A and B are shown apart, each in its own frame.
Chain A
Amino acid sequence: MRLNSQLTGDILILRVEAERLDAASAVYFKDQFREAVQAHDGRVVVDLEPVSFMDSSGLGAMVAARKLVADRELEIAELSPIVMKVFRLTRMDKVFSLHDRIEDAIDTSSQSSVKTA
């Protein structure tokens, strides 16, 4: 699992380069996320486009990431159907700002803090 970071304006976009964010890879996500956000105090968007599957360990890693940027929202974009299902089932869709597309997160910065109900 690799986390690619890219700064677009003041938005830090972290793209998860993995097919699966699960028990085998969650710990790497946590470590790389911590490192990536250390020197950034603006918005953080996690791009899950390459990720087709997430389990409870992956979800736990996202919650840990959410706590690391506690003073901000943690925005997540490009959730696959199965990833969305995991967020909805556990009601964690209430804890993050979810965007369908990464462009939605970038373009509509004024709406970025609107939570998905």
Chain B
Amino acid sequence: MAKARGGTKVQYCITAEASQISQKLPEIISNVFDIDTVETDAIESGQIILAEVLNNIAEHGFVGRVPGRIFIEATRNDFAVRFSIRDTGSPMPGLKLPRASLPATNIPLGDLPEGGFGWFMIRTLAQDLSYRRDGDMNYLEFSVVSSHKR
């Protein structure tokens, strides 16, 4: 919950639940990105990626047990925001990030998937995405390039 002093590093700890994520995300985004100087496009991408990453942990990380904590750290410099996300949920299947591809849109309506868009958006919008499992923790890192308004 605490915002680190100095203004370049922001840290949050939230419960891995959809309602908590939904409630906290706007505050996190407005503390991580300087809305006066950073391009809106970068802030939108940041919010989409973070929502998908956190909800993925909430949905798959703690199946059948009490939702744990997610630790979010965002470090900002002039060009990008580097996010580091830690959680004690289950490891990623195969200890790697899911692949992501879009379904064709010219298929029968009934065959359209209602899920699977999340990882596609993460992979499309995030830079330098990496994942590792260390002990009982998942570590996910990515950057959002933040070009500035002129």
Contacts and interface: CB of A to CB of B under 8 A. Distances in A.
Interface string B47-79: 110011001001100000000000000000000
A22 B55 contact: yes
Contacts of A89: 120-121, 124-125
B2 interface: no
A91 B44 CA distance: 17
Contact of B51 (A22, A70, A92, A94): A22
Given A24-B19, A82-B44, A90-B102, A59 B117 contact: yes
Interface residues of A, number: 27
A90 B117 contact: yes
A81 B110 contact: no
B117 A95 contact: no
A50 to B, nearest CB: 15
B22 interface: yes
Interface size class of B (residues with CB under 8 A): 20 to 34
A81 B117 contact: no
A61 B112 CA distance: 12
User: Chain B interface mostly helix, strand, loop or mixed?
Assistant: helix
Contact of B112 (A22, A63, A82, A85): A63
A90 B125 CA distance: 12
Contact of A23 (B40, B48, B55, B121): B55
Contact of B117 (A22, A23, A24, A60): A60
Interface string A50-65: 0001011101110110
B55 A90 contact: no
Interface string B18-61: 11011101100000000000001000110110011001001100
A94 B44 contact: no
Given A57-B55, A90-B121, A95-B112, A24 B44 contact: no
B22 A67 contact: no
A57 B56 CA distance: 10
A94 B105 contact: yes
Contacts of A22: 18, 21-22, 51, 55
B44 A60 contact: no
B115 A60 contact: yes
